[in-house]
């Protein structure tokens, strides 16, 4: 069973354009992200899925520089981009990875994949955010390719095409879903980048913890939080899954009109 980690990345974010190209020292957030994902032991291949927009030529160049595969597809239909990346790379198991999660943890990726593999005949979707206990920004999703392909064929809502997991979770009667949890509830922490204040927090963390050739992990971050909580308060006012909730609301408004 081939496990393919697919990293979504583009420059055209509406809330914080070019966020994945923001630099800390001499490296972009996207380069740090790819470096962290490479520490996962469960991925047979890593694919960077970006868009056909010429502005994303730089994303393709980073993939080439980092020695990983890439695909260029739809800018707004992210479900289509994931499906095409998975199909072209012969994935049996698809791991969805979002490049704005600056502290992506390979151990959490590996835990999600193991749960999926151990229950391969029973589950088609494993995640850790439907019942949040991890900080926002350590989200991982694992899909059976066949389920992703079915969702790709049948999902119609804008929110389902833009936020891949909704194409599965909106139909619990069709899919077997499992949510795994953290030992302690740190879901109130925000470790993702959608706004400049998020990047300010991330930059301060990297300045404290980053060492070339090594990565800091969840336990290191929690230890930093316990001694320097003010760093993590910089972006604590932003609500969890703000973008997802906005798109869902737009779908509901469209239906009512």
Q: What value does the mean pLDDT of the chain take?
A: 95
**Alpha-carbon distance values, 99 to 31, 34, 103, 104, 188 (Å):** 9, 8, 10, 8, 20
* Domain edges within the chain: 3-256
Q: Would you give the DSSP letter of residue 175?
A: S
Q: How confident is the model at residue 243 (pLDDT cuts 50, 70, 90)?
A: low
**Contact partners, residue 98, CB within 8 Å, separation at least 6:** 7, 8, 139, 192
Whether the pLDDT of residue 43 is over 70: the answer is yes
Q: Rounded to whole angstroms, how far apart are CA atoms 250 and 66?
A: 37
The angle at the Cα of 138, spanning 137 to 142, to the nearest 5 degrees, equals 120
Question: Could you read off the pLDDT of 107-163 as tens digits, one per residue?
Answer: 999 999 999 999 999 999 999 999 999 999 999 999 999 999 999 999 999 999 999
- Reduce the DSSP state of residue 230 to 3 states and report it: helix
Question: Could you read off the pLDDT of 100-120 as tens digits, one per residue?
Answer: 999 999 999 999 999 999 999
Q: Rounded to whole angstroms, how far apart are CA atoms 133 and 129?
A: 7
pLDDT score recorded for residue 255: 55
Q: Using a pLDDT cut of 70, give the percent of the chain over it.
A: 94
Domain 3-256 sits in CATH at: 3.90.550.10
Q: Would you give the DSSP letter of residue 95?
A: E
Q: Compute how many other C-beta atoms are within 10 angstroms of the C-beta atom of residue 81.
A: 24
pLDDT score recorded for residue 78: 97
């Amino acid at each position: 069973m081939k496990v393919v980690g697919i990293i979504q990345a583009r420059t055209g974010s509406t809330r914080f354009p070019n966020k994945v190209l923001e630099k800390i020292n001499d490296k972009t957030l996207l380069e740090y992200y790819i470096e962290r994902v490479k520490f996962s032991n469960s991925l047979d291949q890593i694919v960077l899925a970006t868009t056909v927009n010429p502005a994303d030529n730089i994303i393709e160049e980073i993939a080439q520089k980092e020695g990983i595969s890439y695909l260029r597809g739809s800018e707004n239909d992210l479900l289509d981009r994931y499906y095409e990346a998975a199909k072209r790379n012969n994935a049996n198991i698809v791991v969805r990875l979002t490049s704005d999660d600056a502290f992506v943890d390979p151990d959490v990726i590996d835990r999600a994949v193991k749960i999926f593999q151990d229950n391969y005949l029973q589950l088609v979707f494993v995640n850790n955010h439907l019942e949040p206990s991890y900080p926002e920004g350590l989200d991982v999703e694992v899909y059976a390719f066949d389920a992703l392909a079915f969702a790709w064929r049948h999902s119609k809502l804008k929110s389902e095409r833009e936020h891949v997991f909704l194409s599965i979770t909106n139909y619990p009667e069709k899919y077997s879903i499992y949510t795994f949890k953290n030992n302690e509830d740190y879901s109130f922490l925000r470790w993702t980048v959608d706004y400049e204040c998020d990047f300010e927090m991330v930059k301060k963390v990297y300045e404290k913890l980053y060492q070339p050739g090594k990565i800091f992990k969840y336990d290191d971050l929690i230890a930093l939080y316990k001694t320097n909580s003010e760093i993590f308060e910089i972006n604590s006012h932003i609500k969890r899954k703000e973008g997802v909730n906005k798109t869902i609301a737009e779908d509901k408004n469209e239906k009512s009109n």
